[in-house]
Structure 1
């Protein structure tokens, strides 16, 4: 019996696991299993070296579908991403992304479709590496800035505390609208939208400011 598996990578600067699962389900995926690596750097750690990532190589079988938010979940750089995708395709695993609904199918026999697929893999893997490099440079710049001005590194102080944040996220989980949440919490609609777009970042800000 084939299965559909969501693989997520979650870090303090990333989307929450619950957010990624809901995004996948909203995109129409019926998930049989969810596997996630927490606190793992996508920049420095290969997929096969992550505690949960390496499980994918063991549990996925021909006919299974691997769902990821984006191809950058599948490796740390161009080679790792492209090698991972090709490995799963050789094993008969269908790979689908939540963002842009990309599909990578190793069963494709038409040479033109194969060429388009392979070119797309190369482009997506290169894009993933470029994003990883940009993130690494941003982190480096942040560390340097923190050395010069620790207060500035914390960023803007949140307009909410832990209690308000928890109320916002609870209402978001109940699919309340941004305007309704703003009215219930006293936050601006824009603040609610920022939390909705990046819960992990909002929670990190609370921790940084000790709120």
Structure 2
């Protein structure tokens, strides 16, 4: 499998704290990759580094085989990268329809019908789970080549999470690449191509979900 994204010896610092300690990982193109780890493990930093929100202090980040150093976040977005953070992924002062970029409130991402009656509401007045659906729907409607999701199921009902995971595999089947960070691997993500487990800023495991289950046993 060809890699959509690769990190080679990547180190990231926040002031005096080093969050990633020489991380090597690859995310195959047109597949779903899951980054697992507890809070503080470095999985969010990996996503932010790929998105260009933070810059590595050492190492290389390759997207489609090209070094991304010096490529600003907005240029990555123009090139087809979308990041949905775990929190504050909406413009609170705008309506749901405006957040989704809809010229008129008539259509919405079919996988989130719960948003239909909320299109004229300001996003800042919604619950955390509803805001998460808005952020996810906006990213999906943009049809990015590379979709990065940080704990996308946070605040969502289990049935909505299962529906979202099914949608992400359909997105990958269309040839687009999905990378998401989670604390644990639910059954609905066990068809992922690759799982990377991070612990304290280092890769503790890389392989298929079935191999990870074998280690747990």
Give me the TM-score of the superposition, normalised by structure 1. Answer: 0.29
Give the number of the structure with larger relative contact order, counting CA–CA contacts within 8 Å between residues 6 or more apart.
Answer: 2
- Higher helix proportion, which one? 1
Structure with the bigger percentage of strand: 2
Output the TM-score relative to the length of structure 2: 0.28
